Structure 1
Amino acid sequence: MSDKWGQLLQKLVSLTRAGKLSWNETVHGDEISTQLGEMKVEVQFFELIDEYRLIVRDEFGKEIDAFTDDELTSTGFISAGGVFASLFRTVKRQKSGADQALDNILRELDNLDDEVPF
């Protein structure tokens, strides 16, 4: 099962970075979720114990699988906590508009840079 867990996490990260997955923040600031067909994937962060947990739910909301970064790391997946953190940060940045703001600032700076004579 650990191979599938690792593959799932890696695909979630790469598709999120590519802008192909739409995530929602739940009412809890420490949880994000995405709907994939009839299935729902949730990622939770427990700050007090510094642990991430991924939950897969069926079309009825029933938890059908779950794993933590520690469980994934114990199966040989290197730096699962860092991968979870990267996913969480990417979603939070997309939702807050931080990435778009930085893109706009960089574009403005490039425009200014083009105007500077050499």
Structure 2
Amino acid sequence: MNDVTSRHRKLSERLYVRTESEHQIWTTGTWSGDYETSVGNYIVSIKANVKEFDEVDYGIVISDKKHTEIDRFWDEEISEPDVKPSVGDFRNHYALMKDLYRKAQRQTSGADKALESILNELDEL
């Protein structure tokens, strides 16, 4: 494993932890189906790429504030069968990035807040 792969893994793991704890706020990205968040002077985006047979790859793109791409990596580049993420209970980094994408999507759409509000309303009936 090279140093860049290690840092890409660490970035995906830290984004996951911060998103899980609601410290990282995601917004709708520039492109449909992309979600982005600001980290310092940079924009970090997560995207899904549907391939043939409905297989999905998840990618993270780092851009400057003008949306000029600086770095990019995909789950398949950082996932190895014998390397589990250091956070969560994931079998590989593909599973972590898939869950990170889903969390960013739900946060952006307001799905979790709506669900919580509806459950609270139902509890009061």
TM value normalised by structure 1 = 0.79
Cα distance, 1:12 vs structure 2: 0.5
Q: Which protein is richer in helix relative to its size? A: 1
* Structure 1 unmatched ranges of 5 or more: 113-118
2:19 aligned with 1:16: yes
Does structure 2 conserve the Cα–Cα contact (< 8 Å) formed by 1:56 and 1:64? yes
Cα distance, 1:106 vs structure 2: 2.9
* 1:39 to 1:27, Cα distance in 2 relative to 1, 3 A: closer
Where do 1:77-92 residues align within 5 Å?
77-78=83-84, 79-92=92-105
> For residues 61 and 116 of structure 2, what CA distance do their matches in structure 1 show?
32
SS in 2 for 1:43: strand
Where do 1:24-103 residues align within 5 Å?
24-48=27-51, 49-74=55-80, 77-78=83-84, 79-103=92-116
Cα distance, 1:50 vs structure 2: 1.3
RMSD: 2.1
> For residues 100 and 28 of structure 1, what CA distance do their matches in structure 2 show?
24
* 1:61 to 1:27, Cα distance in 2 relative to 1, 3 A: closer
Cα distance, 1:84 vs structure 2: 1.1
Letter paired with 1:13: Y
Letter paired with 1:21: Q
Instruction: Give the number of aligned pairs.
Output: 112
Letter paired with 2:70: I
Larger RCO (CA under 8 A, 6+ residues apart)? 2
Tell me which structure has the larger Cα radius of gyration. 1
